[in-house]
Structure 1
């Protein structure tokens, strides 16, 4: 059974945090609240890793053009 990417994202909605890697070397961790076909993401309780320190960002909308990958967070 082949899974489609959007089906996998559906399973991540409102679950454990995901890590989103962005262009420019930025990395954001948060709870995936929603997404669209352009991979625009809504993250709640978002934190950005800056030099090994987690900076709280709250709720973010991440433009899909900037997303390199999305991965389940390891806690």
Structure 2
């Protein structure tokens, strides 16, 4: 049976992810929540530009209609 997209996201809960937004912004943080609209809650979130951390946030919510992609982050 094929996996559903939300099943893949559910497996990423409590792990570090990279969230790409439609306007080109990138956020990296620990995925602590989501819903069926792909609204994303990140803890320890960082705004990334050109591979560098520009600003650090605590907990943020990203509206699902802005999300282009979600990718797991390799731990260094």
| Same fold per superposition (TM over 0.5) | yes
Question: Structure 1 residue 58: deviation in Å?
Answer: 1.3
- Report runs of 4+ in structure 1 exceeding 2 Å deviation: 50-53
Question: Structure 1 residue 20: deviation in Å?
Answer: 0.3
Q: Counterparts in 2 of 1:1-75, with a 5 A limit?
A: 1-15=1-15, 17-54=16-53, 55-75=55-75
Q: Which whole-Å deviations, capped at 9, do the CAs of 1:39-66 have from their partners, x for residues lacking one?
A: 0000000001134431211110000000
Give 5+ residue unaligned stretches, structure 2. Answer: none
Structure with the larger helix share: 1
Q: Report the number of matched residues.
A: 74
d(CA) in 1 for partners of 2:18, 2:8: 14
**TM-score normalised by the chain length of structure 1:** 0.90
Give 5+ residue unaligned stretches, structure 1. Answer: none
- Aligned Cα root-mean-square deviation (Å): 1.1
**TM-score normalised by the chain length of structure 2:** 0.89
d(CA) in 2 for partners of 1:32, 1:51: 22
